[in-house]
Amino acid sequence: MKRFVPAIIAAMFILGLATAASATPQQERMKACNAEAREKGLKGEQRKAFMKECLSAKKAETPKPAKD
Protein backbone atom coordinates (compact mmCIF):
# COMPACT_ATOMS: atom_id res chain seq x y z
CA MET A 1 0.00 0.00 0.00
CA LYS A 2 2.79 2.42 0.88
CA ARG A 3 4.34 1.87 -2.55
CA PHE A 4 1.15 2.82 -4.36
CA VAL A 5 0.70 6.24 -2.76
CA PRO A 6 3.75 7.88 -4.41
CA ALA A 7 2.81 6.33 -7.75
CA ILE A 8 -0.74 7.66 -7.49
CA ILE A 9 0.51 11.13 -6.51
CA ALA A 10 2.95 11.15 -9.44
CA ALA A 11 0.22 10.11 -11.87
CA MET A 12 -2.11 12.82 -10.61
CA PHE A 13 0.67 15.41 -10.97
CA ILE A 14 1.40 14.34 -14.55
CA LEU A 15 -2.29 14.40 -15.49
CA GLY A 16 -2.64 17.83 -13.90
CA LEU A 17 0.21 19.18 -16.01
CA ALA A 18 -1.28 17.73 -19.18
CA THR A 19 -4.68 19.33 -18.62
CA ALA A 20 -3.19 22.65 -17.50
CA ALA A 21 -1.18 22.90 -20.71
CA SER A 22 -4.25 22.84 -22.95
CA ALA A 23 -6.52 25.75 -22.06
CA THR A 24 -10.00 25.75 -23.54
CA PRO A 25 -11.37 28.79 -25.40
CA GLN A 26 -13.57 29.53 -22.36
CA GLN A 27 -10.50 29.56 -20.11
CA GLU A 28 -8.73 31.89 -22.52
CA ARG A 29 -11.73 34.28 -22.51
CA MET A 30 -11.84 34.20 -18.71
CA LYS A 31 -8.13 34.97 -18.54
CA ALA A 32 -8.43 37.91 -20.96
CA CYS A 33 -11.49 39.35 -19.18
CA ASN A 34 -9.81 38.99 -15.78
CA ALA A 35 -6.76 40.85 -17.04
CA GLU A 36 -8.90 43.65 -18.47
CA ALA A 37 -10.91 43.96 -15.24
CA ARG A 38 -7.67 44.11 -13.25
CA GLU A 39 -6.28 46.85 -15.55
CA LYS A 40 -9.45 48.88 -15.07
CA GLY A 41 -9.29 48.40 -11.30
CA LEU A 42 -12.85 47.10 -11.09
CA LYS A 43 -14.14 45.70 -7.79
CA GLY A 44 -17.36 44.23 -6.42
CA GLU A 45 -20.53 44.64 -8.44
CA GLN A 46 -18.79 46.66 -11.16
CA ARG A 47 -16.33 43.82 -11.74
CA LYS A 48 -19.10 41.24 -11.69
CA ALA A 49 -21.13 43.16 -14.28
CA PHE A 50 -18.04 43.73 -16.43
CA MET A 51 -17.09 40.05 -16.34
CA LYS A 52 -20.60 38.98 -17.30
CA GLU A 53 -20.64 41.38 -20.25
CA CYS A 54 -17.08 40.60 -21.29
CA LEU A 55 -17.56 36.85 -21.28
CA SER A 56 -20.84 37.00 -23.18
CA ALA A 57 -19.44 39.49 -25.71
CA LYS A 58 -16.38 37.35 -26.33
CA LYS A 59 -18.60 34.31 -26.72
CA ALA A 60 -20.71 36.09 -29.34
CA GLU A 61 -17.61 37.18 -31.29
CA THR A 62 -16.27 33.63 -31.57
CA PRO A 63 -17.09 32.38 -35.08
CA LYS A 64 -18.78 29.02 -35.29
CA PRO A 65 -17.62 26.52 -37.90
CA ALA A 66 -19.91 26.27 -40.91
CA LYS A 67 -21.81 23.04 -41.31
CA ASP A 68 -22.05 21.45 -44.74
Q: What is the pLDDT of residues 18-47, one digit of tens each?
A: 555 677 888 999 999 999 999 999 999 999
Question: Is pLDDT at 67 greater than 80 in this prediction?
Answer: no
pLDDT interval class at 12 (50, 70, 90): confident
pTM for the whole structure: 0.53
Q: Residue 54 burial (CB < 10 Å; 0-12/13-18/19+)?
A: middle
Q: How much is the pLDDT for 58?
A: 60
- The angle subtended at Cα 66 by Cα 64 and Cα 67, nearest 5°, is 125
Question: Is pLDDT at 60 greater than 70 in this prediction?
Answer: no
